[in-house]
Amino acid sequence: MKIISGNEAVALAVKLARVGVVGIYPITPQTSIIEKLAEMKANGELDADIVRVESEHAAMASTFGAAIAGVRAFTATASQGLLYMHEMTWWVAGSRVPVVMVVATRAVGAPWNIWDENTDFMSERDSGWLMAFASNPQEALDLTLQAFRISEDERVYLPMMVGMDGFILSHMKTNVIIPSQDEVDLFLPPRKQPFVLDSESPVGMGNIFPPIEYMKLRHSIHEAILHSEEVIREVGMEYQKITGINNYSTLNVKYKLDDADYAVVLMGAWAGDAMEAIDELRKQGLSVGLYRIRYIRPWSEEEITSALKDKKAILVIDRATSMGRGGPLYLELKSTLHHEQMCGVVSGLGGVLLNKGDFKEIISRFVERAKKGNAKGVTWYYPKGGEKVELKSPRYVEE
Amino acid sequence: MSLSLRDMLKSNSLLSGTSACPGCPENMAMRMVGMALGNDVALIVIAGCSSVIQGLAPKNSYNFPVLNIAFAAGPPAASGMWRAYRQRNKNTTVVVWAGDGGTADIGFASLSGAAERNENFIYICVDNEAYMNSGGQRSGSTPFGAYTSTTPEGKKENKKEIMFIMMDHNIPYLATASVGYPHDFVNKLRKAKQIFGFKYVQVLTPDPYGWMFDPSKTVEVGKLAVQTCYWPLIEYENGKLTVSPESLHCLEKSTRRPLKDFLQIQGRFKRITEKEYKALENYVDSMWDKIKKLIE
């Protein structure tokens, strides 16, 4: 066990996974992952070849080129960087090639803002990647290691990204259990992938697909995402068996949920604050529990439905937006469950910090409304009040 | 070096059934790539005519392992690829095949980045001087005065001289070529293959449709471009620039074939005025002045 940050935990996972090539480009708050990798390389602790590229578009392209040529490949990014490589994330998924990326989430400009928000990560939902989201540095390490095995499973053969809240996880140091190299070698077999671009077996990849073939390929990605659910559970249990770390037998995580009347749904680091709030609210007699989404893709309809179907009302808290529609998690839940009472809260954007007290306020307000049969729609929550937003030009700054 | 019809026939880099237009210079160039580099090659094709020419999946008329990829992604993908081959103890020659739009415009930052890092692959810019795959729109590599579908009045700016910009990256090897001179092109590619690091080869590929000449005249136009000194054949190695034999006559203005001979055979310069013609001549003169200064 070591006291390390989320970014250090990810860098260690990359080393333990015996990655062949890493494409790197700096962006806050992900940068210390690639700095750590470069440092390990300089000290001779890392075998991976590092390509220090000139943009995130190139970071994803170089990672892709290495993966296609048959080695395990990794990159990391955030915010503007993820948006800049968006074209390539789609290209990688369409190629059905296993690649792993970590995203230390951050708000997207304009205006400039370097702090945490999950909208960058959530905007990749349709790209064809598997997407897991950590809630502490330990999970960031575990999920990164598992991502290699999941993406290289022949039932999946898709790239996978692991998200974590920028700064809050990327830079915060906590106790992290680090599996040994022997354990990881046992857990992670040599790389498998559907095609290797090799002069010994010339294949053409990515040239024009006729309409039906193209549609079938897209369909196969959809099916692979659906099938990845059982792979994720298998891999999670295998990981647990070998390393003895954490509980990965399910995609998503329940906290005091089964006996609760009301459910709160969210993802990421602030699950910690929410759990503390729930502990105190329960003492005050509120029957609430937490459901933490760990996998955005695959979206486990089965797990989510069985966990939440009997709840009287559901509150979904998003640290991301789908402008004009609320938050992406809220929309996903809406399409899965058909509760009369489901409401969304958007908060925490651009680094707005919520503490236990804020969660207590949000949750108790929700329960009050639910008791009146009125827990519907989306609201934006600001700590310490100040909800009134005036529609002025982007130059407007509140005095 | 021997290069005969027999070599041409032996090269199996280009299989039958391509969807190239008649008189396509890119197919000629691709065949020459096969002659020069052999079979242990991995080819990355960025968006362009060649994305279409190779045909519909699952078939492919390029007899190499081919990775198709989006515009700006060729050089970084090649960077990852050759490193992966090195990790696997393989000596495969990695080649990026890109058009002039993908090189001079949208892909320029990634080209420059890979060159600066001295990544070990050959970058071939197939220069047909416009976005021919989307129907012939101007690119940074389109010459002054040329008609394209987005410069119906003729382009007002000079061709971007990527070869000089790439020389300033101090790469180990750079060459220009023309499909009108296959020996020269093949020789240069063979040399590039032997050198470790970043190799930039720009081959002029006159396009009968975009340049508006008879498809039977591709080679002739490729030769005229060199003979009139519009397109210089040069080599840059270890910091030293040399002019290839086919272009040596260009060093003296008096021995250059009139530029008119190159322009008149094409429809895209049909409407240029006398003044514009002079401007193009001046451009060619200044380019050769630059080359002369560099070889001194």
Residue A203 has what pLDDT?
A: 87
Q: How far is B233 from chain A (nearest CA, A)?
A: 30
Q: pLDDT band for position A395 (50/70/90)?
A: low
Q: To probe the interface with B, which of A25, A57, A87, A197 has the most B CB atoms within 10 Å?
A: A197
Residue A50 has what pLDDT?
A: 98
In contact, A169 and A37? CB cutoff 8 Å: no
Give CA–CA dist B106/B141, Å, rounded. Answer: 12
Residues B66-78 as b/e (b if ≥16 CB within 10 A, e otherwise) read: bbbbbbbbbbbbb
Q: Which residues of B touch A52 (CB under 8 A)?
A: 117
Give CA–CA dist B73/A170, Å, rounded. Answer: 28
Q: What is residue A301's three-state secondary structure?
A: helix
A58 touches chain B (CB under 8 A): yes
Q: Which fold has domain B5-295?
A: Rossmann fold (3.40.50)
The predicted complex's ipTM stands at 0.95
Residue B7 has what pLDDT?
A: 65
Q: What is residue A91's three-state secondary structure?
A: helix
B98-115 mean pLDDT: 98
Q: Would the CB atoms of B56 and A71 count as touching at under 8 Å?
A: no
Give CA–CA dist B173/A114, Å, rounded. Answer: 41
Please tell me which of the candidates A73, A88, A207 has its beta carbon nearest to residue B70: A88
Q: How far is A21 from chain B (nearest CA, A)?
A: 7
Q: What is the pLDDT of residues A263-322, one digit of tens each?
A: 999 999 999 999 999 999 999 999 999 999 999 999 999 999 999 999 999 999 999 999
Give percent of chain A above pLDDT 90: 93
Q: pLDDT band for position A15 (50/70/90)?
A: very high
Q: Would the CB atoms of A202 and B80 count as touching at under 8 Å?
A: no
Residue B2 pLDDT exceeds 80: no
Domain ranges of chain B: 5-295
Please tell me which of the candidates B42, B56, B79 has its beta carbon nearest to residue A210: B56
Gyration radius of chain A's alpha carbons: 21
Q: Would the CB atoms of B84 and A207 count as touching at under 8 Å?
A: no
Q: Would the CB atoms of A62 and B76 count as touching at under 8 Å?
A: yes
B214 touches chain A (CB under 8 A): no
Give percent of chain A above pLDDT 70: 96
Residue B11 pLDDT exceeds 80: no
Q: Which residues of A touch B85 (CB under 8 A)?
A: 69
And the tokens for A77? 């990014």
For chain A, give the mean pLDDT.
95
Residue B192 pLDDT exceeds 80: yes
Residues 64-103 of B with CB under 8 A from A: 64-70, 72-81, 83-88, 90, 92
B13 touches chain A (CB under 8 A): no
Q: Which residues of B touch A202 (CB under 8 A)?
A: 63-66
Please tell me which of the candidates B41, B55, B110 has its beta carbon nearest to residue A207: B55
Give CA–CA dist A92/A80, Å, rounded. Answer: 19
Nearest residue of chain B to residue A52 (CA atoms) = B117
Q: How do strand A21-24 and strand A49-52 relate by DSSP bridges? A: parallel
Q: Would the CB atoms of B80 and A197 count as touching at under 8 Å?
A: no
Q: Domains of chain A by range and CATH?
A: 2-243 (3.40.50.970), 253-380 (3.40.50.920)
